[in-house]
Amino acid sequence: DGEITWDHDLPPGGTPEFPRSPIGFHDPGQVSGTPLFEAGRFFLKFHNLWTVEAPEGYAIYFTHPVNRFDLPFTTLSGLVNSDLYTDNWVHFPAYWHDRNFRGVLRKGTPIAQCIPVKRDDWTAQASSFTAEEAKRVGEFRGELKRQPNLYRRNFRA
């Protein structure tokens, strides 16, 4: 009904300007020009209570929890250079699907997945298979059919 409430203690610590609620609103301008934009529609922001610091040379890709199609929201994805941007919080904006939702988002519900990404310079290359490469692919696909769990046994690291 256009209201967000919570019934637990305010989060501890932080600075005076730190948002004291676990959920706030996010500027819809970030999705302007995308299929998610809808005039008059607001976006939620899940407030993160921690700063995130990655090892040197790594960024963090924040995204919706993988394969969680059951959640009533979709967390927006973004890449943050968390080895450089360490002295502030990274919050998680989300698109809430059901405007008429009334209920409780249970404690422990995943709201974002954080995936480290090593920054590195490289150049992608694409080409057609050679006859030899096509033959190898065909043989390998045959082995995958004949040997259950071949990938798990031989290629999972």
Range 23-118 has CATH code 1.20.1070: no
Please report the pLDDT score of residue 49 as a whole number: 78
Q: Which two tokens stand for residue 27?
A: 């500027």
Write out pLDDT tens, residues 82-115.
999 998 889 999 998 887 888 888 889 999 999 9
Please report the pLDDT score of residue 31 as a whole number: 78
Q: HSE of 1 in the Cβ direction (CA atoms, 13 Å)?
A: 2
CA distance 39 to 32: 9
Please report the pLDDT score of residue 36 as a whole number: 79
Write out pLDDT tens, residues 47-56.
887 889 999 9
Q: Mean pLDDT across the stretch 119-123?
A: 93
Please report the pLDDT score of residue 68 as a whole number: 96
First-last CA distance in the chain: 48
Strand pairing partners for 59?
117
Asked whether 47 and 19 are in contact (CB, 8 A), the reply is: yes
| Per-chain mean pLDDT for the chain | 87
User: pLDDT tier at 24 (50, 70, 90 boundaries)?
Assistant: confident
- Say if pTM beats, i.e. exceeds, 0.85: no
Asked whether 73 and 94 are in contact (CB, 8 A), the reply is: yes
* Residue 17 confidence (pLDDT) above 80: no
Residue that has been written with the tokens 């694409």 in this structure:
126
Q: Where are the domains of the chain?
A: 23-118, 127-157
- In terms of phi and psi (left: phi > 0; alpha: psi -120 to 50; beta: otherwise), the region of 144 is alpha
Which one, of 24, 110, 8, lies nearest residue 69 by Cα?
110
Please report the pLDDT score of residue 8 as a whole number: 65
Percent pLDDT > 90 in the chain is 55
Burial 38-52 (b: 16+ CB within 10 A, else e): eeeeebbbbbbeeeb
Please report the pLDDT score of residue 16 as a whole number: 67
Residue 76, judged by CB atoms within 10 A of its CB (0-12, 13-18, 19+), counts as buried
CA distance 24 to 47: 7
